[in-house]
């Protein structure tokens, strides 16, 4: 198996126990990005998909701060932590996912929108990698985000590159991850 053969990688590391759409197995979070711009129609298609996510009382608390120019990407580099920055610098676009604190479900609803975004990106042949490793206070200050918004994740968006372009210490992690068994996740009746 050649390491760039995406289908072979998925088949090696992922198998669903029940019938699901292949997009759920094919979507994963690579770290190697091509230095190739994402066309605007594809970029806005993924946020369009996120726009249609369900939310409590249709409040749609999510907001997406997009960085796709060189200047905006460099601004994001200033608050992305070094461990992530060493692999994500070639990503052609970033999106900071935030949510307005407009009710107790704002984070849950925004997570759903992120899921829609990630699946639509996979549909277009794009990769996404969400990062919690960023300096939230610095991002809030640099992007002028009001205090009534929570900052959740920075997402790198683009096309998948070759694993060998990554720093050596990251190359071994560049593969789809498996998931725990449903028997460890689904609890029927009561917790105990």
Distances, alpha carbon 145 to alpha carbons 63, 69, 112, 142, 170, in Å: 11, 19, 21, 8, 32
Q: Decide if pLDDT at 5 tops 80.
A: no
**Domains of the chain: residue spans and CATH:** 31-163 (3.40.109.10)
Q: Decide if pLDDT at 2 tops 80.
A: no
Q: Decide if pLDDT at 172 tops 60.
A: yes
Mean pLDDT for 69-78 is 98
- The model carries a pTM of 0.93
**113: buried, middle or exposed (CB in 10 Å: 19+, 13-18, 0-12)?**
buried
> What pLDDT does residue 52 have?
98
């Amino acid at each position: 198996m050649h390491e760039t053969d995406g289908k072979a990688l998925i088949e090696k590391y992922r198998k669903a126990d029940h019938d699901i759409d292949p997009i759920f197995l094919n979507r994963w979070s690579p770290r190697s990005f091509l230095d190739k711009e994402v066309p605007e129609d594809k970029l806005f298609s993924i946020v369009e998909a996120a726009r249609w996510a369900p939310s409590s009382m249709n409040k749609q608390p999510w907001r997406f701060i997009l960085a796709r120019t060189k200047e905006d990407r460099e601004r994001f580099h200033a608050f992305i932590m070094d461990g992530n920055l060493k692999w994500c610098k070639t990503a052609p676009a970033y999106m900071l996912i935030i949510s307005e604190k407009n009710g107790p479900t704002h984070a849950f609803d925004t997570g759903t929108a992120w899921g829609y975004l990630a699946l639509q990106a996979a549909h277009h042949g794009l990769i996404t990698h969400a990062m919690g490793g960023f300096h939230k206070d610095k991002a809030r200050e640099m992007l002028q985000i009001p205090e009534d918004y929570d900052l959740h994740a920075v997402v790198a968006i683009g096309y998948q590159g070759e694993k060998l372009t990554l720093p050596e210490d990251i190359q071994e992690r560049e593969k789809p991850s498996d998931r725990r068994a449903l028997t460890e996740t689904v609890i029927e009746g009561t917790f105990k």
